[in-house]
């Protein structure tokens, strides 16, 4: 991946440079981890602390945060849109796979018919790769992995030991990130992070795990994902969680250890769910869960016992209304 000068980047995103236009930028990173040679972006004043302590070589920001910027700045009106446009310049090219690349280390894995394996792929010992699997460039897979037919693992993802991935699963697809311009047109964000999956993980059929925007989507050891689960970009799923079918987890949400999520649960983005949380089927999680327990509900989410109490009253509402109407008629009769 080539490096760009700050002057070149300013032209890409139509930004005003404050600082050295000749500074070389080789990648984009979040403000908390960016180092020399990297660029970051700050979208809102609430991230001002991250900006002040950033070690990035340059920052994309609005003019109202310029006085807090400790390094070179690229001033734009819409930071998120500028980042969306710039991300594509740092996206690695899509591999064109035609078979098994000669430098792939497959370590005597059992390969089904029609497999495509890219360059710099490393397979651990005793792996079984089903028919028509696609493993793109730079993927690392540990020992004893079992990939059923038609699994796709996109470039640079990391899979641990003893992982089982069922048919049709897709690991490392682009996340659903878009920025809208002033003409209400969408600009897709290129996701530059990876997916990192730990040991002893089971992934169900047609489940999708999106790669992170800049940092990695993480599935920790011992996790069980059912069929048709969607894990969005930058999600972190803690050790020994179990998630049932048709659940969707929106971007940048973190699940603690040993959580159990029922079928068809919807979890909105940027939440934190604590260890040992249980969410019953068809619930919507729209706020942080800070206390371990069993939760049920559409909106708002609440403790399961509270939901049970409310449920008792809900099924009696028609009788309550009839009773109140009778009382009202009697009062009018007076």
Domain ranges for the chain, please list them: 4-90, 110-307
- Catalytic residue set: 233
Q: Please, which residues have CB within 8 angstroms of residue 287's CB and are 6 or more apart in sequence?
A: 271, 300, 301
Specify which residues 273 forms β-bridges with.
255, 289
Own/partner pairs, 316-323, CB within 8 angstroms, 24+ separation: none
Radius of gyration of the chain from Cα atoms?
Answer: 25
Where does 110-307 sit in CATH, by number?
2.160.10.10
State the Cα–Cα distance between residues 318 and 134, nearest whole angstrom.
Answer: 57
Chain centroid offset of residue 180 CA: 20
3-state helix, strand, coil in the chain (%, to 5): 20, 30, 55
CATH code: domain 4-90 is 3.40.1390.10
Question: Going edge to edge, which strands form the sheet with 116-117?
Answer: 116-117, 134-135, 152-153, 170-173, 208-210, 230-231, 248-249, 266-267, 284-285
Pair 224, 242: CB distance under 8 Å: yes
For 325, the token pair is 């109407």
Note the pLDDT of residue 332: 65
pLDDT of residue 330: 77
What's the pLDDT score for residue 11? 97
Distance, in Å, from the CA atom of 283 to the CA atom of 266, rounded to the nearest integer, reads 7
pTM of the model: 0.90
Tokens of 179: 């920025």
Question: Running along the chain, 334 residues long, what does each successive block of 10 average in pLDDT?
Answer: 93 97 96 96 93 96 95 97 97 93 96 97 98 98 98 98 98 96 96 98 98 98 98 98 98 98 97 98 95 87 83 83 81 62
**Token pair of 81 as six digits:** 């849109």
């Amino acid at each position: 991946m080539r490096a760009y000068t700050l002057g070149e980047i300013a032209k890409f995103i139509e930004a005003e440079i404050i600082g050295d236009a000749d500074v070389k930028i080789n990648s984009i990173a979040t403000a908390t981890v960016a180092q020399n040679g990297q660029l970051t972006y700050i979208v809102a004043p609430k991230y001002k602390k991250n900006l002040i302590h950033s070690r990035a070589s340059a920052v994309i920001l609005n003019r109202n945060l310029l006085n807090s910027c400790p390094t070179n700045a690229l001033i734009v009106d819409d930071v998120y849109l500028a980042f969306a446009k710039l991300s594509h310049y740092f996206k690695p090219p899509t591999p064109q796979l035609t078979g098994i690349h000669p430098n792939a280390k497959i370590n005597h894995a059992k390969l089904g018919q029609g497999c495509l394996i890219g360059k710099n792929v490393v397979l651990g010992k005793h792996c079984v790769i089903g028919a028509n699997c696609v493993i793109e460039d730079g993927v690392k897979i540990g020992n004893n992995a079992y990939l059923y037919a038609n699994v796709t693992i996109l470039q640079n993802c990391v899979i641990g030991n003893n992982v089982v991935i069922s048919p049709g699963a897709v690991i490392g697809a682009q996340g659903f990130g878009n920025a809208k311009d002033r003409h209400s047109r969408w600009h897709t964000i290129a996701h530059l992070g990876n997916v990192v999956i730990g040991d002893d993980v089971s992934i169900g059929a047609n489940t999708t795990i999106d790669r992170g925007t800049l940092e990695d989507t993480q599935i920790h050891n011992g996790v069980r994902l059912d069929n048709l689960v969607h894990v969005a970009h930058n999600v972190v799923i803690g050790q020994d969680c179990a998630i049932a079918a048709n659940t969707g987890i929106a971007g940048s949400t973190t699940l603690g250890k040993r959580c159990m999520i029922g079928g068809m649960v919807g979890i909105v983005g940027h939440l934190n769910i604590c260890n040992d949380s249980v969410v019953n089927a068809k619930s919507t999680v729209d706020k942080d869960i800070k206390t371990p327990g069993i939760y049920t509900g559409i909106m708002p989410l609440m403790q399961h016992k509270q939901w049970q109490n409310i449920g008792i009253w809900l099924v009696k509402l028609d009788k309550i209304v009839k009773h109140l109407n009778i009382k009202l008629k009697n009062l009018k009769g007076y």
